[in-house]
Structure 1
C-alpha cells in the first residue's frame, strides 16, 4: 500500500518565510562555504550523519561533507575538466557551494557512492548497518531519506540543468513514499536563511510529479 503524501506540521513554519526560488547566487567559494557555513553554521551544534543517522557533536575524521548530486558528475555535465580546472568556472563554483546539495556523511560511505547511480535494488540485495543497499555502480539510500534524496536531486537537475543520476520515476516514487519530515523541513529553513534561496521541491513536493 502506498503512503499518502502528508506534510508535517512543521510545514506551517515554511509558509511564514519567503525565499527566492532559483539557484545559489550568494556563495561561489566552495572551500569557504564548507568551513564557515556548512560545518561552522549549519552544523555548528552537531547533528546526525545523513545516511546512517549517527549523531555527532562536531566534525571528526570519520565525517566529511557529501553531495546528493556528486561533484564529479557536475564536472562531467559541465565539461569543465578536472577539479582544479572547474574551480576556475564560476558556474561550477556556485553549484559546488550550494548548501541544498550538501550533507554530513561518513567518509567511507561518500567514497563508495561517488560514481554510483541511484536505483531501487530490491530485497535481493542485502542492506548494510545503515540501511544502504549497493550493487556494482548502483546505490539505494535508506528508506527514511529516500524522499530527501529525491527532492535534492530534483532541485539540482532543474535548477542547474543537470542530467538525472537515475530514473526520474524512481525519484518520484521515493518522494511519495518518504514525504518531508520535521528534520528535513527545519534543515531546509536554515539553509534557505543562510543561502537566500529555496528548494521548491521540499516546500511543495507535488512539483516532482510534474517533472
Structure 2
C-alpha cells in the first residue's frame, strides 16, 4: 500500500468525530435506519429494537445505540501499516497521559492514508452497537451453524471469524469493499473478490444506496463508481 495518500483521494472529514457527525446529521438525517437490521434510531442515536425484531437485545446497554461501523474493518487495513504494527516507533504516539494511544489512535495521528480510509463516509454505516461489537473485524462471507439476531438475517460466526450479512445489503457491502480496494490500494483475496462480484450481481443498487452515494459525493468530492456506474461483473 502507498505510504501517503495520492492527491485524488476524497475530501474526508478531518477526524472520526467529524465523520460521524456528517454520517448521522447529513447522510442519514432523514433515513435513520441501521444498515444491517433496519432498526429505527432517533437524533440521539437511540435504537428502537422492538421495531426491528431485536427485542431480545433490549437489556444490553450497547444495543441501545447505533454506532458507526467500518464495513472494511479498520483493523484489517491497519495491520499492514507500520503505525499499527509498532506504535512505539513513532514519537507522536508516545504516551502523554495515563494511557498510551491505541494502534488505531496512533495511525489516525501519523498515517494520512489510514486516517483518510478510516474517516471515509463510503465505508461507514450506522449499526446497532451490539452487532457492531460482535461483528468485530471479521471477514464477510457465508457461514453455517450460527444463529441470527432475532428476525435480522445477519449471522456472526466467531469460530471462523466470518459474518454473513442479510441478502438485502450484500451488494452494498460488495460495492463498498471494491471502492475501498480501488481508492486506497487495499488488498482483497481472489476468493473475496469473486464473492463480492457475485453479491454485486445479485443485489443491484436500490434508490437509497444511490441517494446515499450522491450525498457522500457532495460531501467528499467524489462518489463510488460501483454505485454510480453500476455494472454486473
Q: Per the shorter chain, which TM-score range?
A: 0.7 to 0.9
Q: Distance in 2 between matches of 1:52 and 1:175?
A: 19
User: Is residue 27 from structure 1 mapped to residue 52 from structure 2 by the alignment?
Assistant: no
Tell me the CA shift for residue 205 of structure 1.
Answer: 2.8
The partner residue of 1:162 within 186, 202, 205 is 186
Q: Distance in 1 between matches of 2:66 and 2:201?
A: 29
Report the TM-score when normalising by structure 2.
0.73
Output one character per residue of 1:141-176: Cα deviation in whole Å (capped at 9) or x when no partner. 000000000000000011101122761111111001
Q: Distance in 1 between matches of 2:105 and 2:155?
A: 32
Larger relative contact order (Cα-Cα within 8 Å, sequence gap ≥ 6): 1
Tell me the CA shift for residue 79 of structure 1.
Answer: 3.4
Output one character per residue of 1:19-46: Cα deviation in whole Å (capped at 9) or x when no partner. xxx53234332222212x1122222335
Q: Contact 1:66–1:102 (CA<8 Å) still a contact in 2?
A: yes
Output one character per residue of 1:62-106: Cα deviation in whole Å (capped at 9) or x when no partner. 211111111111211323221121022222211111111110001
Q: Distance in 2 between matches of 1:46 and 1:145?
A: 15
Output one character per residue of 1:116-156: Cα deviation in whole Å (capped at 9) or x when no partner. 1111225x554332101222201010000000000000000
User: Is residue 77 from structure 1 mapped to residue 87 from structure 2 by the alignment?
Assistant: no
Where does residue 95 of structure 1 map in the other structure? 117
Q: Contact 1:46–1:56 (CA<8 Å) still a contact in 2?
A: no
Q: Distance in 2 between matches of 1:205 and 1:63?
A: 29
The partner residue of 2:107 within 61, 70, 86 is 86
Q: Contact 1:30–1:97 (CA<8 Å) still a contact in 2?
A: yes
Equivalent residues in 2 for 1:1-16 (5 A)?
none
Q: Contact 1:45–1:57 (CA<8 Å) still a contact in 2?
A: no
CA RMSD of aligned residues (A): 1.9
Report the TM-score when normalising by structure 1.
0.80
Q: Distance in 1 between matches of 2:66 and 2:12?
A: 26
User: Is residue 190 from structure 1 mapped to residue 215 from structure 2 by the alignment?
Assistant: yes
Q: Distance in 2 between matches of 1:30 and 1:177?
A: 32
- Tell me the number of residue pairs that the alignment of Structure 1 and Structure 2 aligns: 185
Higher Rg: 2
Where does residue 90 of structure 2 map in the other structure? none
The partner residue of 1:127 within 148, 157, 177 is 148
Structure 2 segments unaligned to the other structure (5+ residues): 1-7, 47-63, 85-102
> What secondary structure, in the 3-state scheme, does the structure 1 residue paired with 2:79 have?
helix
Structure 1 segments unaligned to the other structure (5+ residues): 1-21
Where does residue 8 of structure 1 map in the other structure? none
Q: 1:79 to 1:140 in 2, by over 3 A?
A: farther
> What secondary structure, in the 3-state scheme, does the structure 1 residue paired with 2:153 have?
coil
